[in-house]
Structures are given as C-alpha cells and as structure tokens.
Structure 1
Amino acid sequence: MAIYVYWGEDSFAIAQAVKTLQEKTLDPTWESFNVDKISPDQPDAVIQGLNQAMTPPFGAGDRFVWLVETTLAQRCSESLLAELERTLPAILKTTTLLLTSSSKPDGRLKSTKLLQKYASIQEFSPIPPWKTDLLIKQVQQVARELEVKLNADSAEFLAEAIGNNTRQLYSDLEKIRLLGGESKKPLTVDEIAPLITASTQNSLQLVAAILEGKTDRALELVTELLRQNEPALKILATLIGQFRQRLWIKVMLESGERDDRTIAQAAELNNPKKLYFLQKELAKISVTQLQQTLPLLLELEFSLKRGAEEISTLQTKAIELCQIFKT
C-alpha cells in the first residue's frame, strides 16, 4: 500500500512527479490495464477511486489509482469520511493511490488528519523569486534528474534567468542536455546562455532600469516582457523580491553591519560575492527611496489581482517607481 497527496499551484511540477511515480509503480506492458485516472466531474469520483484501489492489478506491476483535483482535504461529508476510515487502512499492497489538488489541505478537517496518518503529503508550490538559494537547489536537482552537468555559475545563471518557472526549467535543461551530448565536462554559462530565454533576467533588467530612474528603458522592458507572454504577476513577484532584498541590505549597512555573510543571510542572498556589486548599486540610493517602492508594488499587486488591464497598469507603476529614483 502506498498513498500520496500532491498539492500546490505548480501544476507542471506535479505532472512531473506523477510521471515519476507511475514509472516506479507500473509495468509498461500492463500499464493500460492498471491505470485509473479519475477526474472530479465523474459521479462519485472518490468512491470509484477507493473501489479501484481495492482491485488487484492485472499481470505484472502494481495498480495506479489517481484522483485528480480532489477536494477531500478541503471538504468531506460524514458518509465519505466513514468510507475513507474503512478503506484507507485496508488498501491493497499492490495499489498506489494518488490524490492531487491545487489547494492546500485544511489541517482542521478529519479527512485531512486521516490522510496525514496514512499518506505521504508533498507540496508543489512555486518557489518565491527572491529565494535564490532554493531556486539554485531546484536547478541542481532537476539537472541531476535529467543527467545534465552544470558548474556552480551555470546553475546560478539558470536560477536567475528562469526563476520559478518549472516548465521552462525542464525544457531548457533538455536543450542543454542535447548540447552537452556525451561530454562529462560541466557546461559553462557562455555555452548555455544562447539556449535560454531569460524572462526573469529581463525582469532583473527592469529592476536595474527603475533604480537608475530610466523611465524609457523601464517601459521598453515592460512591453518586451509582456510580448514574451510573461505573466504580469510573475514580473511583479520578481520586482517585490528584488526591492525587498535591496532594502534589507541597505538597512543593515546603515545600521553598521559589515559582515558580508551576515548581510547576505538576512537578505536571503545565496551568493555573498554578489553583495559587493549590490553595495555599489545602492551607494547613491537611500533607505527612504527603497521603502517608497513597497506601497507602490502593493498597489500594483492589488490592481492586477482585481483584473486591471496589465500593460497600462504595469507601465503606470513603472513610471511612478522610476520617479522615486530620478533624484
């Protein structure tokens, strides 16, 4: 018996994890007989899934039962809870039962507590863009999975260029794998850079343009990012992360802190060597200016989530942000 709950907004990462779990569970010869993918719009989907989980597999391998976008951990009737309590402990050893959902399990529910008792629960949510150390670890993890050899600088470059876009990360690493061929030598930044569509890198260029008060350049980058179909909320997330990080650095420097590692740790800056360049960038920028960006970014987030027109809203806020740093 193996029961898994995968939840989170990173649908591509969940899809990859499901694929890996299926490969681990199923015999390719008997796969079509032993996979049950049950969507939430099917009548009595959960009951149907539990019944299939109690059915022995055909031929070799195990049975794989997948309840897609289930709401068991968000709401569950008493009758369904009773069925779960009866079935989960008795699921066959030859069955792998998977429940996936984009929503976070509600820890107050009895059904969630039951799943916590019997299932392995894993979150698949996008990594915040400012957590560069976690983004680099993700790049390194996927690179190992796809058997792509990268040096430290290449992994950091990909984390900055791709951000938390898991789909693009897999796609770009597949291209890099083909480029590397049978070579056992880690690929350098110069070798992989031409293959990468650096949307997050362009967002970082937008940050730089704003800090320099270059309104024309900032507007040009906003237009280019949206032309590349970069989600407005993702652009916003990068801006928030970058300005938040710079504010932390500036506050600590002005408080008298001089230890680079301490400052880098507080600002969640994975590479302390970058601090030298950020310090130079921030030399002519005040804490007050950086603080003034945060309410504007909060207003931008509120507007975008309320359905405001993306390009005009982003352009307006880009102009306002540039005005802060023009002096």
Structure 2
Amino acid sequence: MPIHVYWGEDDFAIEKAVAVLCDRVLDPQWTSFNYTSLLPDQPDAAIQGLNQVMTPSFGAGGRLVWLVNTTLCQHCPDNVLAELGRTLPVIPENSFLLITSRNKPDERLKSTKILKQYATEFREFPLIPPWKTELLVQAVNQAAQTVGVKLTPKTAELIAESVGNDTRLLYNEMEKLRLYTASSTQPLDVDIITKLVRNTTQNSLQLAAAIRTGDTAKALTTLSDLINASEPGLRIVATLIGQFRTWLWVKIMMESGERNPQAIAQAAEIGNPKRIYFLQQEVKSLSVQQLISTLPLLLELEVSLKQGYSDIATLQTKVIELCQVSRGS
C-alpha cells in the first residue's frame, strides 16, 4: 500500500520531497506512461486518481499518481469516501498514490482516518516560526551540508537572520554561495555572506526593534525598504508577531520575579538561554500592558492582509499605531 500524504505551508520542501519520490518510483524512459498529476479544479480528480493508481505500470519503474492540493482531508464527498475505502487496501505494490495539501488534515474526518490507516508516509512540512532562531540555524546548516557549502557558526547564524524561514530563498542563496566558492575549501566569512546573501528577515527584526523604541520615522523607512525588496506583507507580520510574543513572555517572567534564564527561555520557547539577558534589556522600557496592547493590532493587521487590503497602506497605518503604543501615547 504505497500511499504518501504530504501537507504543510513549506511549498518548497514539499516540492523537494515530491521530486525525491518521483526519482525513486519512476523510470525516466517510461515517465510519460506512468506519471499522472491531477489538479483540484479537474472534474472528479480524486476519483480519476484512484482509478489510475489501480492501473499496473508500463515498462520499467513504477506508477505514480499525484493528487495536487487536494481537499480530501478537509472535505470528502460520500462517493469519494466509498472509493477510498475500496481502493486503498488493494493498490498494486508498484503503484504509488501521492496526496498533497497546504492545510492540515482534519483528524475527525473518515477520509483522514482511512488515509492514516493505510499510508506508508504521513508527513507534515511546516514553516519554522521566524522567532525560533535555533531551528532556523539548524535548517541553514542542513541546507549547507546538502548543497556542499562550508559555514562557520557565525555565518550560519547570519544566513538564518537574513533568509528567515523561506526555504526556497535559503536554497537559492546556498546555490549562489556554492558557485562563488567552487574553487575554495575554506568556510565562508561574514563579509562574503553580507555582500552576497539577500537580507529580508533581519530587516523585519529591525522593523520590530524600531517599533519597540517608538521610532516611527525609522520604522516606516525600514518598512519601505522591505516593501521595495518585495518582501510579502504576511511574512513581515509573522516576524513581528513572533518577536513581540517573545518580548511579552520575557517581560511577564521578569515581572513575576523569575530570574532563572533557563526558566524564562522555556516559557518563551527560546532554545538558547544566553539570549535572555539581551531580551531583558530590550524590554526594560516597556510595560507588560504595552506589549499586550501590540498583539490585537498585529492580529488586525494579519486579518486585513489576508482579506486583501492594500499591503502598503495597511502596514504603514498599523506600524504607526504600534509605535504610538510603544511610546505610551
């Protein structure tokens, strides 16, 4: 029962996993006969896919049927559910069914339960939260090892700050660095990384810092730089939410009298307790109430952007409001 279910917001990581599966299953000379991808807007895509996966492969290699961005695990009509129940237990050994979706499977649905029962791989590809710097650094080191780029701990941290959780951008930058250092066996230094790697998340963190200090002019200038660099508004908001959430937890723990950096780090979901001292210095001038007041504004900003409001105008308005909160005005 070779069934694979992938879901999550990291589109690039899903694409890489799909490519690996295709290479493993399909023979290049027989791909046109044995590979089918069905988009969700095609009529009866799920039924078609289930019928095709029951067809034995032609020639060498196996058969792969891919249901792209399907809603089977969010909404499954009765006729498709019945077909799933009939098909999944008897899929030929050399036929592979691949199901992908951006949304998390609904564990309550019968279709999800059936797929979990028979799937050989049921895997999530989430985006790393922008504020979890340790996980971002791990992802950078893993990408560097995969591509063949040598980094120092400092340069790995710098790249993580620059690209954030954008996996596609990370691998693009790594490929650029690999080409640049093709004739060298030495690890890359900070100067080269600064010149070559596009910096977006660091600017988002600089935006958060400007808002924290109530510096409206600097915040709007930084925001303008981000927009001019085509940084998506929702990604900017995600970084801001993560940073203000971290600052809030640190401040709450300080106000409660907690002095143990490990305990504060655990509450704030920070992997490195050494960061706590610097975070404490950053929130000294802010009250818990000020930090709490930023969260509804950030939520309103996120909702507005998701509803299609103008990125520039909406971001500028909320950045000004956030700066006012930080200044206590």
Superposition TM-score, scaled by structure 2 size: 0.91
Identity of aligned residues (%): 58
Aligned to 2:33: 33
Checking the alignment, whether the CA contact within 8 Å between 1:249 and 1:267 is kept in structure 2 is: yes
**Cα displacement (A) at 1:7:** 1.6
Which deviations, in whole Å up to 9, do the C-alpha atoms of 1:205-250 show, x marking residues without a partner? 1111122221111111111111111111211111111111111112
Indicate conservation of the 8 Å contact 1:7/1:104, yes or no.
Answer: yes
Say what the alpha-carbon RMSD is for the aligned residues. 2.1
Counterpart position of 1:295? 296
1:147 and 2:148 correspond: yes
> Which residue of 1 is the match for residue 272 of structure 2?
271
For residues 66-81 of structure 1, the aligned pairs below 5 Å read 66-81=66-81
Q: Does 1:2 align with 2:2?
A: yes
CA 1:76–1:299: 2 relative to 1, 3 Å: closer
Q: Quote how far apart the aligned CAs of 1:294 are.
A: 1.9
Q: In the aligned structure 1, how far is the partner of 2:171 from the partner of 2:191?
A: 19
Q: Which residue of 2 aligns with 1:47?
A: 47
> Does residue 1:243 correspond to 2:253, yes or no?
no
Match of 2:138? 137
Pick closer, same or farther for the CA change 1:64–1:270 going to 2, 3 Å: same
Aligned counterparts of 2:33 and 2:142: Cα–Cα separation in 1: 32
Cα distance in 2 for residues equivalent to 1:95 and 1:147: 34
Q: State the AA in 2 paired with 1:265.
A: Q
2:314 match: 313
The one-letter amino acid paired with 2:281 is K
1:183 Cα offset (Å): 4.5
The corresponding residue for 1:127 is: 128
**Are 1:23 and 2:38 an aligned pair?**
no
Paired position in structure 2 for 1:200: 201
1:98 deviates by: 0.2
For residues 164-203 of structure 1, give each alpha carbon's deviation from its aligned partner in whole angstroms, at most 9, with x where no partner exists: 2121112111112223326554434333222211111111
Partner Cα distance (2:261, 2:230) in 1: 37
Equivalent-residue separation in structure 1 for 2:296 and 2:42 (angstroms): 45
In 2: Cα distance, 1:22 partner to 1:193 partner: 36
Tell me, yes or no, if structure 1 residue 118 matches structure 2 residue 118.
Answer: yes
User: Quick one: distance in 2 between partners of 1:264 and 1:70?
Assistant: 39
The one-character-per-residue Cα deviations of 1:59-107 (angstroms, maximum 9, x if unpaired) are 3222111111222222223332222222211111112210112222222
- SS of aligned partner of 1:19: helix
SS of residue paired to 2:36: strand
Amino acid at match of 1:84: L
Note if 1:156 corresponds to 2:160: no
SS across alignment from 2:100? strand
Q: Find out whether 1:105 has 2:134 as its counterpart.
A: no
SS of structure 2 residue aligned to 1:121: strand
Pairwise CA distance, 1:270:
2.9
CA positional deviation for 1:5: 0.9
Q: Deviations over 1:263-293 (max 9, x none)?
A: 2222222333333322332333332332222
Amino acid at match of 1:38: L
The separation in 1 between residues aligned to 2:262 and 2:181, in whole angstroms, is 34
Is there any run of 5+ residues in structure 2 with no aligned partner, and where?
A: none
Three-state SS of the structure 2 residue aligned to 1:290 is helix
Q: Please give the residue correspondences for 1:173-212 in structure 2 after superposition, counting only pairs within 5 Å.
A: 173-181=174-182, 183-212=184-213
Report which stretch shifted further, 230-239 or 136-145.
136-145
Alpha-carbon distance change, 271 to 43 in structure 1, aligned in 2, over 3 angstroms: same
Deviation at 1:320, TM superposition (A): 2.0
Equivalences, count: 327
Distance 2:58 2:204 in 1: 51
- AA in 2 matched with 1:267: A
Contact 1:261 1:272 in 2 (8 A): yes
* Matches of 2:109 and 2:287, distance apart in 1: 48
Provide the rounded CA distance (Å) in 1 between the counterparts of 2:307 and 2:82: 40
Using a 3 Å threshold, how does the CA distance of structure 1 residues 95 and 186 change in structure 2: closer, same or farther? Answer: farther
The separation in 2 between residues aligned to 1:40 and 1:51, in whole angstroms, is: 16
Distance 1:74 1:106 in 2: 6
Q: Using the TM superposition, give the Cα deviation of residue 14 of structure 1 relative to its aligned residue in structure 2, in angstroms.
A: 1.6
Closer, same or farther in 2 for the Cα pair 1:117/1:286, shift >3 Å?
same
